[in-house]
Structures are given as C-alpha cells and as structure tokens.
Amino acid sequence: MITIITNKILGKDSTSSKRADGRASDELRPFKIEAGVLERADGSAYLELGGNKVMVAVYGPRELHIRRLMQPDRAVLRCRYNMAPFSVDDRKRPGPDRRSVEISKITSEALMPAVFLEKFPRSTIDVFIEVLEAEGGTRCAGITAASVALADAGVPMRDLVVACAAGKSEGEVVLDLSEAEDKDGEADVPVAIMPRTGEVTLLQSDGNLTPEEFEKTLNLAIEGCMKLSEAQKEAIIKRYGD
C-alpha cells in the first residue's frame, strides 16, 4: 500500500520497475568524460554523471619537500576532495569537513593500487577533485575522473580505476543512486575496481542489505563500472588517439 501511494506521488506507474527519474533498475544516469580540460595542470579530466559535475586536476609526479610525508621507495598519492559551496542546495560551508577528509582518504586508497608509485621515490602525485555540482555519487564520480586525469598526466598505471555505486531504493536493488534515492533509500554501496583484473579497490556499504541483496548490489555496481570504463578509455583515445 505504501509503495503504491509513493509511486503515485512520484508520478510512477506502480506496475513498472521504473524509478522516479524514469531509469530502469540497471541504468546509469547520462554521463560524459573528457580528458585534458585544464591548461595549467599536468593532467586533468571533467566528468558529468546525471547532475554531478566534477573537475579533477593532477600535478606530478614531482619532488616532495615535506620530509615527514616523504617515502624513500615510492611516491605518495595525495588526494583532496572538495565540494564547492554552490554545488549543493543548502550552501556548503567552504573548507574541509569530516566527510571530505574521509572521501579524500578513500579516493587515495582506491587509486593507489593502480599507480606505479615505486617508480617515483621521494615524490608526490597530487590529485585535486572539485565537485562543482553534486547530485549523489560524487565520491565515485571523483575516483572515475581522477583516474582519467592521472592517465592524462602521463602517470604510469596498471589500469584505469573506475567507480560506481549501487544500492537499494524503494525495496529494489538499483544502479547509480541519485541524491533522492541515496537520501531516502535503504542502502548505498560505492565500489571501485580495476577492470582488467577485476580487483576491487574500494568497497563501502551504508544501510541494510541481506547477503543475497548485497551480492546483487555488488554485481550491479561492477556492471556500472564496466560501462563507465568504456567512456574513460574513449576520453583518453579522443585526446591522444589510438
């Protein structure tokens, strides 16, 4: 009964599996990825996914002057995820907060396994992720764009890391949750993989899922990653040719 009322409010046909924004359960929001969009960065990328607009700039590898951060046998990969004050409905207070510090950390950890850090001892690679507009799923959008920006900077990598979330909304396992689905939904599972090996470099889970639902959600997120992975490759090819 509750489902029927909700669907009526959302203008949905209660018998169809369509979501509030008209997508099928396994459908990504419209997306585009561009490489090499900033003149002054060593590498850059721009990504749109639904209402998300994300710009990434990469600097390095370059010498790291802060001794306490320096690693004698490899580069450090520093990521800064930042949401612009105008990126969300309620103006976001500028500067870092708990959430952005957490997302910066997991982004760095998701990207690190793909980068040949050992080729650049005592160096740093700096990744700046700027969320210009947010509509749910920005951490995944940031990781996907960051990996294209790293490739654009010529940083040697095993693979392009790609990220996508799946979750549960209105009792159904769905791909790539919108902001509304994320806020009102039952679960959100962001996943990052290296498509060539299938290695998972990020797996977070927020909400409640049965083991069966979790498996379905994970597989759906990986399917989403594979679709976005094609767009990453196309962005690099468009910039540098085959």
- Residue 41 CA to residue 60 CA, distance in Å, equals 9
Does 181 engage in binding with ligand UDP (CB under 6 A)? Answer: no
Provide the token pair at 222. Answer: 């990986």
Binding segment for ligand UDP (CB under 6 A), chosen from 30-38, 39-47, 56-64, 129-137, is 129-137
Does 32 engage in binding with ligand UDP (CB under 6 A)? Answer: no
Binding segment for ligand UDP (CB under 6 A), chosen from 25-33, 134-142, 209-217, 222-230, is 134-142
Provide the token pair at 120. Answer: 């650049």
Does 159 engage in binding with ligand UDP (CB under 6 A)? Answer: no
Which residues 68-127 are close enough to bind ligand UDP by CB under 6 A?
88, 92, 99
Q: Which of 34, 42, 135, 176 binds ligand UDP (CB under 6 A)?
A: 135
Q: Which residues pair with 203 in a beta bridge?
A: 191
Residue 75 CB, nearest approach to ligand UDP (Å): 26
What is the DSSP code (8-state) at residue 28? P
Cα 210 to chain center, whole Å?
24
Residue 90 CB, nearest approach to ligand UDP (Å): 6
DSSP conformation letters of 71-126: BTTB-EEEEEEEE-GGGSSS-PPSS--HHHHHHHHHHHHHHGGGB-GGGSTTEEEE
Residues that bind ligand UDP (CB under 6 A): 88, 92, 99, 134-139, 179, 182
